């Protein structure tokens, strides 16, 4: 007889959403990363509130964390990706999903929230260096997907969400 262990169960939670924001430059796209301190950088993102759709969360959190509003961003309908994290919570494995959308901006000046220490606009290569190590494998994955999309792979018509 096999005993089921609670730790073998994986609880899936789609808990957060955000935007991979980039700015086109002569040297290629520059991605907006927010600095939390202790060498921790990430994209604008945050928790999905009850009754909120992931896109609405991504837009709200980007506005709260960067000062960028919907009119500052051009979203791509055919780009949506996610980070997947597995961790232990109350003795159970949790599969956390963070959904990301892709948006272009021309607005260089960012007004970061109190939860961040700084921000930067980084090339793909620079961002890959920031996202080194196993703990950043999902960050590297989603930024690579965005970079490949921007570079023309799987790129279709863009549209500005109003």
Provide mean pLDDT across the span 41-55. Answer: 95
162 within a domain of the structure (yes/no):
no
98 within a domain of the structure (yes/no):
yes
Question: What is the rounded average pLDDT for all residues in the chain?
Answer: 87
Cβ–Cβ < 8 Å for 77, 159: yes
Residue 140 belongs to domain with CATH number: 3.90.79.10
Higher pLDDT among residues 128 and 7, named by residue: 128
Domain count for the chain: 1
At residue 62, the 3 state secondary structure works out as helix
pTM of the model: 0.85
Query: Which of 45-49, 79-83, 91-95, 143-147 is least confident?
Result: 91-95
Cβ–Cβ < 8 Å for 19, 59: yes
62 within a domain of the structure (yes/no):
yes
Provide mean pLDDT across the span 78-101. Answer: 90
155 within a domain of the structure (yes/no):
no
In this prediction, residue 94 carries a pLDDT of: 86
C-alpha pair distances (Å), 81 with each of 67, 93, 107, 118, 122: 23, 22, 23, 25, 20
Which residue carries 């999309």 as its tokens?
A: 149
Provide mean pLDDT across the span 19-44. Answer: 94
Q: Up-side HSE of residue 4: CA atoms within 13 Å toward CB?
A: 4
160 within a domain of the structure (yes/no):
no
Query: Which of 76-80, 91-95, 124-128 is least confident?
Result: 91-95
1 within a domain of the structure (yes/no):
no
Containing structural domain, residue 29: 8-150
Instruction: Tell me the C-alpha distance between 155 and 158, whole Å.
Output: 8
158 within a domain of the structure (yes/no):
no
Provide mean pLDDT across the span 117-135. Answer: 94
39 within a domain of the structure (yes/no):
yes
Instruction: Please name the residue ranges forming H helices in the chain.
Output: 54-66, 124-130, 137-150
DSSP string, 67-94: ---GGG-EEEEEEEEEEEEEEEETTEEE
Structure tokens at 154: 């799987």
């Amino acid at each position: 007889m096999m005993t089921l262990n609670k730790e073998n169960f994986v609880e899936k939670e789609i808990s957060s959403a955000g935007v991979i924001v980039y700015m086109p430059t002569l040297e290629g796209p520059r991605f907006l990363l927010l600095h939390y301190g202790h060498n921790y950088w990430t994209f604008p993102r945050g928790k999905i509130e009850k009754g909120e759709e992931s896109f609405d969360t991504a837009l709200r959190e980007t506005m709260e964390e960067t000062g960028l509003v919907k009119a500052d961003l051009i979203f791509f309908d055919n780009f949506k990706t996610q980070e997947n994290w597995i961790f232990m919570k109350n003795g159970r494995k949790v599969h956390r999903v963070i959904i990301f959308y892709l948006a272009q901006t021309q607005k260089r000046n960012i007004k970061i929230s109190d939860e961040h220490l700084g921000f930067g606009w980084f090339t793909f290569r620079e961002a890959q260096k920031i996202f080194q190590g196993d703990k950043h494998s999902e960050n590297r994955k989603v930024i690579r997907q965005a970079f490949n999309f921007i570079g023309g792979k799987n790129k279709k018509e863009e549209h500005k969400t109003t």
